[in-house]
Amino acid sequence: MTAKRLAIIAGHGTLDAAYPPLILATTAVAMDMEAAIFFTFYGLEIIKKGKADKLQVSPIANPAMPQPVPGISIPNIVGMLPGMTAMATGMMNGWMRKANVAKLSELIKMAQEFDVKLIACQMTLDVMNIKKEDLIDGVEVGGASTFMEFASQDAIVMTF
Amino acid sequence: MSQNYDLELDCKGLSCPMPILKTKKFIDGMEVGQVVKMTATDAGSIPDVQAWTKKTGHELLSYEEQNGVYTFYIKKTVGE
């Protein structure tokens, strides 16, 4: 069986968690598939107006984070100090620019151009007191059955 | 032997997934039978373009790597 659709659940709002859903969904459309991303809980941050390029990397509980100075291992607990999240994010953004990786806002624009279905989870909008107006234009608001209806037909499902 | 082509697309300097997304958009605007010469510097270009042509049905006529620049000749074989 050949899958015709890619259905993704984006549940995290960190910079590193926001890339894979957008990269894979746009690539799926480029490969003649249909794609949808269901944004829930912190994943909603990705599609808040003006937020995509301000997402951060968390150095806490992230032992895989490369060290700022190669060869010098900094204890993970240092990540709890004020300013460390901003520092880790700055480092990551620097690496991304160096590798010329597209900004998240560019990938979102591409996703919309490619007709990737962007679904904001109604229930978590209510829980987190986020209004539809807080989200970028072109996002559809729906619940679990909106996502499952899409995912139920020849789909690959991924969770991030 | 040099490969003939109709159009050129420069994806140099772009990282995954942009070369593929741009190629897709570009080929959508081409006529069936036309050949595009696409250049990229993304190190994953060869397997990615191979996978993309395999999935979409467009034909990868040939490719080469020279000094970190990958050149692909892709023929549009499938219409909308």
Angle at A35 between CA A40 and CA A115, to 5 degrees: 100
- Burial pattern B6-15, b for ≥16 Cβ within 10 A else e, equals eeebebeebb
Three-state DSSP string of B13-25: CCCCCHHHHHHHH
Q: Do B21 and A101 touch (CB under 8 A)?
A: no
> Is A5-58+103-159 in CATH node 3.40.1260.10?
yes
- Over residues B68-72, the mean pLDDT reads 97
Give chain A positions within 8 Å (CB) of B16: 23
- Over residues A50-74, the mean pLDDT reads 86
pLDDT tens per residue, range A95-152: 999 999 999 999 999 999 999 999 999 999 999 999 999 999 999 999 999 999 999 9
Among the ranges given (A25-29, A54-58, A59-63, A88-92), the one the predictor scored with the smallest mean pLDDT: A59-63
What positions of B carry a catalytic annotation?
16
Q: Could you tell me the two tokens for B14?
A: 């772009």
Give chain A positions within 8 Å (CB) of B20: 27, 30
Q: Could you tell me the two tokens for A140?
A: 């559809």
Task: Assign A43 a pLDDT band (cuts: 50, 70, 90).
Answer: very high
Domains (range + CATH), chain B: 7-75 (3.30.110.40)
Asked if residue A1 has pLDDT above 70, the reply is no
Asked if residue B26 has pLDDT above 90, the reply is yes
Among the ranges given (A50-54, A73-77, B29-33), the one the predictor scored with the smallest mean pLDDT: A73-77
Asked if residue A63 has pLDDT above 90, the reply is no
- Over residues A34-54, the mean pLDDT reads 97
Residue with tokens 């829930």: A40
Q: Do A27 and B23 touch (CB under 8 A)?
A: no
What's the ipTM? Answer: 0.91
